[in-house]
Chain A
């Protein structure tokens, strides 16, 4: 199974994603520069975290117009799985592969800490190793992570079961205190219509190693390795 990680100017979690992918897939992913209009054959495309273009204009806005993104969008529409982490999620919304927008955190400050997430759906290659309703722990590190969509879009997302993960407490309850950034409906991550594009604000690649006090993130990459190799 082959993966590609897109590197924009200002991406800084690309190496982290590559390390987690290599651990799960057994081979390093291709690192694809944003300026390349071509993309190698990939079973999975990853848009990593960071501050592409310094978050100028809006987070992810400029990256969404990079030459390589035209090809990423084409592949996504043709069914290639795409994973957008943090800034990657922002790029996916700007590129209109996912609906909604990520806004300034309710506290107006950057927040870096572990959070609990409830796994809302497991019938995708990303979540195949989790159980529905399972509470996992991932770190967040962002200033613009408050998910927002209008009422109609939210209703549609909920109705179609496209919420991937929700912020919750250790017992899986979506209390106000458990929402770190003011995301609507406690949304931490969402899928596209076909469940093949996932955008999430938390960082699975940062908790994919027992030495880093957690491996819940590793299960996302292992799940992808297993489902996509088949």
Chain B
């Protein structure tokens, strides 16, 4: 049976058969619903339109009921979910526009273009609202290092992200990368973009007004990416390589021109509504814009600029060719708009009008190819309450049950040199992280920070989730993702403002996977509420499975925070010999699901470390206060790998060693040094400030103790041979370049 992509497309349309419907990703019930909506059988073109609009990727049919439970409001929220991106107030008339999106399935099939177009797509979502992108981040999940495809995928994804972002001139200032066998056949590429906007000049996508010109701008339309949305809504199997034509091809130079042209037009008074053509291309943008505006829309595909001969209506409507926008202009603004786009040498075509029919009417070659009631297309996609089951919580693991290492420092070196913790410098040195001359904290720290151009303010950004925690307990793991993001922003001195998310899961038609999704959303909602850290935008990527084996639940969180004055910002590097290290936050020696277990005393077992949201808040607000008052010379939050890893990271960043006090009695030493209890920070302060710091912490009900002293060029633990920083640095920096075949 030929797949959709190997079938030759021509104007003599195929017969609608049950097989054809199934190939389009619609169930028999969904097809019956479709026929009911139309009052007749669909044309082939109409079948294509419904298949993408009602796909999981576009309609969120499995996730919608649960996403409604996430907190999305707050005094700082200007625009929550429902637009191209979320918008958050930064004060003084400025706002941040941001979102994260997944490009998982395409990146597995074609890593370079899949990742590149993921970056391109998310930047368009931001600048379509009128914001100039000022920083990018990404969260990448690859398979085990020893899996045959991993290295090729890493090389392709990193160069795809780099080439696209670098050419656009937007700095990529950080991210996360994990390696885990459960992503062997389903890698994850989540791309985040943050832009800056004048809060009074936000452009939205609701096309209000009848008889308005609908204009297509950007690149010509080709046959690439057709059914990209449907492909992202299904699992992979052996035939997946055939899906290659569904991967879009990116051109960052054209997108840079598009960015500048759009921002230039936005300075005029010409635009009613604007949306980028992303998943499901011209179809989704025209349907969504018209539906939100409460109008109908008619399109004449003869006007669409194409770069292939003989494209059919079906192809033009479903093409996911990149770097295109759809604009609904004010009456009479066509000339102003055309002038701008011609200056930037981009295609510009009047392809339709808004109407009062409430329908999508598409003409091609003089004939009507589609005639569909819009409201049904946009809203009648079935919303599923998929059955789900809760996973029982894993049995607790006592610290004493986890074998101690022969040497704590040797275990540390092993961990720092492992794929889990090794330096990602090989990756981020391929990203221009300084263009726009506003990068105040570069990749490698707790959060990337860019200055808000022309001000003293800083915007801190972090991407976080710990998939092994989520696999053990999706609810606690998702809570932890939000909490860790909040901590990372706090650790650089920012007020956390809001998050975006990429919820990456397996097949929701399996109750245990649906259960992971439900629990993750519950955990996120609880943490977002407790930390006043709402969700303003996001994306769901389901069906990340191959031959029945799914990824661990991976609810990736991307957060932003505001630093009122970058002169009061913290970094993790140790800076001053003689300063004292202090640990803030409760120590319980939790080794369950720790990297120590995973790497040294495996396998990882038990529940993830619990998150006490009230304690997180207390500790974080206290640390932020210290930073704002200039009382600390270094700050780092404690996360993957635990306390000793946090100290090691601070030492390597600054080039200063540390002499650490013996672990307190009451817990095994390895539980103290490698336990991953949440809600903790390590700070460095001048020796004369220690007593007062401990006093203030006690008053704020935050457990605190002296850890040791900044000194020398090695890490020293009592009763062990010192670990010189030079040796540690070698181990830390060596793994990734070697894995990628260098040196």
Contacts and interface: CB of A to CB of B under 8 A. Distances in A.
Interface in A16-33: 16, 19-20
Contacts of B344: 9
A28 B433 CA distance: 25
Contact of B252 (A15, A49, A54, A212): A54
B431 interface: yes
Contact of B253 (A13, A56, A111, A205): A56
Nearest to B436: A16
Contact of A51 (B253, B437, B742): B253
Contacts of A54: 167, 251-254, 256
A19 B437 contact: yes
Interface in B334-359: 343-345
B432 interface: yes
Contacts of B451: 211
Contacts of B254: 54
B430 interface: yes
B70 interface: no
Contact of B256 (A10, A49, A203, A205): A10
Nearest to A108: B159
A145 interface: no
17 contacts: A9-B256, A9-B344, A9-B345, A16-B436, A16-B437, A19-B437, A51-B167, A54-B254, A110-B162, A112-B430, A112-B433, A141-B432, A143-B166, A206-B434, A209-B437, A211-B451, A212-B438
A109 B430 contact: yes
A198 to B, nearest CB: 19
Given A15-B436, A112-B429, 12 more contacts: A10-B257, A19-B437, A20-B437, A107-B742, A109-B159, A109-B430, A110-B163, A110-B431, A206-B434, A206-B435, A206-B437, A212-B439
Contact of A112 (B163, B253, B343, B432): B432
Nearest first, the 9 A-B pairs at minimum CB distance are: A12-B169, A54-B253, A16-B437, A141-B432, A51-B167, A110-B430, A112-B432, A206-B437, A206-B434
Interface string A210-230: 011000000000000000000
A53 B428 CA distance: 25
A205 B434 CA distance: 11
Given A113-B429, A212-B440, A203 B434 contact: yes
Interface extent on B, as a size class?
A: 20 to 34
Nearest to B441: A213
Contacts of B436: 15-16
A199 interface: no
Contacts of B437: 13, 15-16, 19-20, 205-206, 208-209, 212
A54 B166 CA distance: 10
Give the one of B166, B251, B451 with max A CB within 10 A.
B166
Interface in B148-194: 159, 162-163, 166-169
A59 B439 CA distance: 25
A164 to B, nearest CB: 21
Interface of B: 159, 162-163, 166-169, 251-254, 256-257, 343-345, 428-440, 451, 566, 742
Interface string A184-206: 00000000000000000001011
Contact of A111 (B251, B252, B430): B430
Contacts of A35: 343
A56 to B, nearest CB: 7
A181 B309 CA distance: 43
A15 B434 CA distance: 13
A53 B345 CA distance: 11
A139 interface: yes
Contacts of A109: 159, 429-430
B630 to A, nearest CB: 16
A19 B742 CA distance: 38
Contacts of A13: 169, 435, 437
A85 to B, nearest CB: 12
Contact of A10 (B253, B343, B428, B433): B253
A35 B342 CA distance: 12
Contacts of B166: 51, 110, 141, 143
Nearest to B430: A110
B169 A50 contact: yes
Nearest to A113: B429
